[in-house]
Amino acid sequence: MSVEIHPTETHIVLNPPARRLHVVTAVVAGGIVSALIFVAVWLLAAVIPDKTGSPFAPIREFCVWLASTRIGLGLLESLYAFPIVEGFHLIGIALSIGVLCWFDLRLLGLVLTDVPVSRVWKQMMPVAGVGFALVFGTGFLLFAAEAVTAYDSMHFWIKIGLILLAGANAAYFELKVHPTIATWDSDVVPPRRARIAGLLSLVFWTAVIITGRTMAYSF
């Protein structure tokens, strides 16, 4: 492994053997991190009560109203509408988080290492943007159908908290890391703060998906 020192950043270039070792180490670390995320979410599901037990009246009243609207009742009572919306929600997850994972892995220096980070960003983010629009649009419809049940679920609030953390991490990357991309665009392994942002993105969005499943089974 060789290190090139530049005025503002430290650039890391891996030779082939070191790159293979780096990938193997990263895959093992990824497996360990995934297992830890699964255990953490499982503990949350097992230890934290399913219900909040202390509803906040104004928001709960909004949820009651939303669930009683034509959209909420129609989705909940329809034989086909709810599963169709849920199917599009899953497609949105694949398009958004699935595509975003490739960019996060590029930030970690694990895939597409011969492609500049900016090119990966430009090619993948439009697809991810469409996916996120689909996720949040269908997610709102699913929430409308189960508004009161979701509001009373502690797992729902854990999921919302994780989404906010993922959003904060994305904002940090956009405001602090992305503006400096020109200085490390073609690096095999981007600088540490870019790698940390990519890792946190993978962790948070993985936890969001897992928590979403625990939430569904707690209804």
> What tokens appear for 206 in the block?
């993985």
Is 90 exceeded by the pLDDT of residue 8?
Answer: no
Distance from C-alpha of 176 to C-alpha of 186, rounded to nearest angstrom: 18
For 152-167, write each residue's pLDDT tens digit. Answer: 888 888 889 999 999 9
For the chain, percent of residues with pLDDT exceeding 90: 43
Average pLDDT rounded to a whole number, residues 22-33: 64
Structure tokens at 190: 């981007």
40 in Cβ contact with 207 (< 8 Å) = yes
Domain with 133, as residue range(s), is 2-218
Q: How many domains does the chain have?
A: 1
Q: What is the mean pLDDT of the chain?
A: 82
pLDDT digits (tens, 9 = 90+) for 75-131: 888 888 888 999 999 999 999 998 999 999 999 988 888 899 999 999 999 999 999
DSSP, collapsed to helix, strand or coil, labels residue 95 as helix
pTM: 0.77
3-state secondary structure 121-184: HHHHHHHHHHHHHHHHHHHHHHHHHCHHHHHCEHHHHHHHHHHHHHHHHHHHHHHHHHHHHHHC
CA-nearest of 44, 92, 88 to 211 is 44
